[in-house]
Amino acid sequence: MADVVYQELAKDLISLCRDKHLTLGTAESCTGGMIAAQLTSVPGASDVFRGGVVSYATAVKHDVLGVPQRILDEQGPVCADCAEAMADGARRVLRCSLACSVTGFAGPGGGTEKDPVGVVYIGIASPRGTSARRFIFEGSRENIRRQTVVQALSLLLMALSVRTD
């Protein structure tokens, strides 16, 4: 069932980007490239998908995506500010119109009192600005990661429902 949802969302997203002459990029931590994998499973995705950065390590968030060290030191890598900076960094590094980022605690370990296992921040960056949202997903590590992919693809589609150029 989840595979069908992934495929439809990814297909719709690629089609809409193609129609609007927009490009996509991703910056993924807790999903480890699952969003990029779904996008590249769509035939012709190379027309709009520029690529993705799997920034699993905190140093990659800083060194490649440009997440300010201050955010990482003061708030940690799982926060809204980090998700926003990751999305902005992906948009800049990949030279794309629209980028999403994900950072969170998929479990079974990790998490904090404030942000327990299942908390994921998803960032969206476009020419209209950048924002991040906090989600709490439940279930196994794999279920949390799958729910994150579905939500990220959905948020990208929603971002395209408003003018992005």
All domains in the chain, ordered by first residue: 2-160 (3.90.950.20)
Q: What is the mean pLDDT of the chain?
A: 95
- pTM of structure: 0.95
Model confidence pLDDT, tens digit, residues 101-120: 999 999 998 998 999 999 99
| CA gap 64, 86 in Å, rounded | 9
Pairing of strands 98-104, 129-136: unpaired
Model confidence pLDDT, tens digit, residues 15-52: 999 999 999 999 999 999 999 999 999 999 999 999 99
| CA gap 1, 74 in Å, rounded | 40
pLDDT number for residue 164? 43
pLDDT at 163 over 60: no
Q: For residue 144, how far is the Cα from the chain centroid?
A: 14
Which of 65, 147, 68 is closest to 99 using CA atoms?
Answer: 65
Token pair belonging to 5:
């949802």
Quick one: pLDDT band at residue 165, thresholds 50, 70, 90?
A: very low
pLDDT number for residue 2? 60
